[in-house]
Structures are given as C-alpha cells and as structure tokens.
Amino acid sequence: MIDSDHEQLVKRASYASVATAVILLCSKLFVWFATGSSSILASLTDSFLDIGASIINVFAIKYALVPADEGHRFGHGKAESLAGLVQSALIVGSSILLMLHGISALLDPQPIVRSELGIAVSIFALLLT
C-alpha cells in the first residue's frame, strides 16, 4: 500500500471515530436528561471521553503525518504522545465528575424514570460501536 493511501485510511478512520462518538454522545445526553440514571451518566461520560480523544487524535494524526523538516529532523511523531497526555487528563477529570455524582446519588437517591429509554440507548450504543 502506498503511504498516501495509508494516510487517507488513517484520516478516514479518525473522522469515522469522531462521527460515531458524536452520535453516541447526543443520544446518551438526551436519555440522561430523560432518566437521570447514574449508569447513563457514566456511559455519557465515556462517550464524552471518546469524542474528546477522537478529536485530539484527528489533530495529533494530522500533525504527526507532517514530514520531517529542519525544525523537526525526526518528524512530528511526538504529537501522538502529547495527545495521550491530554487524554489522561480527560480521564482524571471524568472520574472526579463521576465520583461526585455517585456521592450525590448516595446522599439523595432518586428513582429511575423511563428506564426503557436507557435500555434502548444502551442497545443502540452496542450496535453502533
């Protein structure tokens, strides 16, 4: 396979990843507002992380594929490592959010309403993924 073909495939895969993450994010956000479910919030947070990571990867891949130049004699591959660092920060932030929500749910439990929506979006997410 020619390098430009490989680059195009990598770029298309990163765009497809972003599109899938956006669809899942929107559907889970709607269902979380409708149900108030902590498990949907956790899944929504995971989708948010996916979209953040996918967007970061799109830019990191574009930058990493830039050929070596005078200022970067060995290429721009370190962009991928920096993208991993940013993704780690997103994971830490989301875990803090989920812990705070979990504590709140323990102190003031609320009944789950419209659970069929939560089940439906979970099945939809499995199929789309």
pLDDT value, residue 30: 93
**Per residue of the chain (129 residues), what is the pLDDT tens digit?**
457 787 788 778 878 877 888 888 899 999 989 988 888 888 888 888 877 877 787 777 777 776 666 665 655 566 667 777 777 888 888 889 888 888 988 898 888 788 899 899 989 988 988
Distance CA 51, CA 33 (A): 19
- Taking Cα atoms as reference points, which of 67, 85, 89 lies closest to residue 77? 67
pLDDT value, residue 68: 65
Note whether 35 and 2 are within 8 A (CB): no
pLDDT value, residue 25: 87
**Phi, psi (5° rounding) for residue 118?**
-65, -40
Tokens 């929504």 correspond to what residue? 44
pLDDT value, residue 127: 92
| Amino acid, single-letter form, for residue 96 | I
